[in-house]
Structure 1
């Protein structure tokens, strides 16, 4: 379906998790990994304002709706309705539970070194049977980045969770996915690792379902997020009203 000018996958969380596992299993090694990403109001606003960002997202194999307002908008404006929000912070756990059973392997790349380490420790404690073949912070450049790309490709994780933020993670996929042909799926993940590590607290469930987690986040991190939401929300609303069907 088209929502705000982007092609959004009509899928619920359980089936999104199964799709990721199946895509990782079905990936042909020595070919470009599947590229899964997510969109919310901020992403739609960025894509509207910057054609290069829009292109980065349209190149994805799947775009999940990571925002309850997108679900509400689909019910009002589109011929097909999104069944539910597929938030990466929730989807990760759905996929991890299946991965434990299937033997699917993970690599976690992103956030700071401290938060990445905390996130990995938390995941290992919660899913002791999950195979995490490696992890690293997301602040690499030059030769360090080149070596890390070779290392990840050699480890051949089924799913690479990539938490660099928009649009850095999409640019990473564009520039380096061809170097990671032994990776099954790259899933962009935004601030996932900070959530898992406990640095950023999720909104209460009723706030999420009401579609106001963005407001909760703005209240939790006003210096970083208030102005961003203040400027991008009108753009997102315009794009959704104008470019949805």
Structure 2
């Protein structure tokens, strides 16, 4: 259950404290408050979806290197800190510190528990077909009363993608979980946000569905808390991720030191 104070803040849409890390405005909230804010936005609804995304060191490096990616993130309504190194950096570099890491793979469960109770509906869009099916099945096992209005793999283009966007809007989920990876999910929001006016919230989710499907295991808790989950992921997929992290981590460190307050 939410604490009374946090529930009231979310319900009244009180200003959310933010800090600047690596040039991005990051919401200085814990997981409980982040979940409350997403549920509140889903209930409140507006003329367009509330757009929530997440940043880690790799994102900060990409934002610094690519103006297009930077704009995709800066137009978000909310950016959450999905990286323990950002929490550490806030303690050293900022006037206000991040209470904790808000990893989407953990936040999903916080939101789902409230959504099940408050009848907030989900749509699951992303990952491959097998992983998406397995993730949806796992979610239904964990949260049998949760309303899932629909699901789809994320490898759609052209007319098929256009039709899927129309379907999602017709089904009008309260929260669309968008697991396409950076920057595909941010590009999706840029291209289709205005056409999803019946959706309450779009939350980018990265590799969430792969985790839920059991394809990608989480790092041991001590590695997560120490800020080394990236090293665990690189060890799982060295060909795809090792060079990426070795090249982006130094740039992320630079932008954190240069553009934080």
Q: TM-score, normalised by structure 2?
A: 0.92
In the alignment, structure 1 residue 118 sits paired with structure 2 residue 134: yes
Question: In the alignment, which of 26, 50, 61 is matched to residue 34 of structure 1?
Answer: 50
Residue 137 (1) aligns with residue 159 (2): no
Partners of 1:98 and 1:187 in 2: how far apart? 16
Q: Secondary structure at the match of 1:85?
A: coil
Cα deviation, residue 206, structure 1: 1.1
Partner residue in 2 for 1:10: 28
Distance 1:157 1:164 in 2: 18
Q: In the TM superposition, what whole-angstrom CA distance separates every residue of 1:155-213 from its partner, at most 9, and x where no partner exists?
A: 00000000000000000000001110000000001110000000000011111111111
CA distance in 2, matches of 1:175, 1:62: 18
Q: Which residue of 2 aligns with 1:231?
A: 247
Tell which has more relative contact order, 1 or 2 (C-alpha 8 A, sep 6+). Answer: 1
Moved over 2 A (4+): none
Query: What are the ranges of 5 or more consecutive residues in structure 2 without an aligned counterpart?
Result: 1-18
TM-score by length of 1: 0.98
The root-mean-square deviation of aligned C-alpha atoms, in Å, is 0.5
Q: Match of 2:98? A: 82
**C-alpha offsets along residues 26-67 of structure 1, whole Å, 9 cap, x if unaligned?**
012xx1101000000000000000011011000000000000
Identify the residue that residue 244 of structure 1 maps to in structure 2.
260
Q: How many equivalent residue pairs? A: 243
Helix, strand or coil: the match of 1:183?
A: coil
Name the structure 2 match of 1:51: 67
Q: Secondary structure at the match of 1:8?
A: strand
Q: Secondary structure at the match of 2:27?
A: coil
Q: Name the structure 1 match of 2:219.
A: 203
Unaligned runs of 5+ in 1: none
Alpha-carbon distance in 1 for matches of 2:253, 2:223: 20
Taking the aligned partners of 2:42 and 2:106, their CA distance within structure 1 comes to 19
CA drift of 1:142 comes to 1.3
- Corresponding residue of 1:159: 175
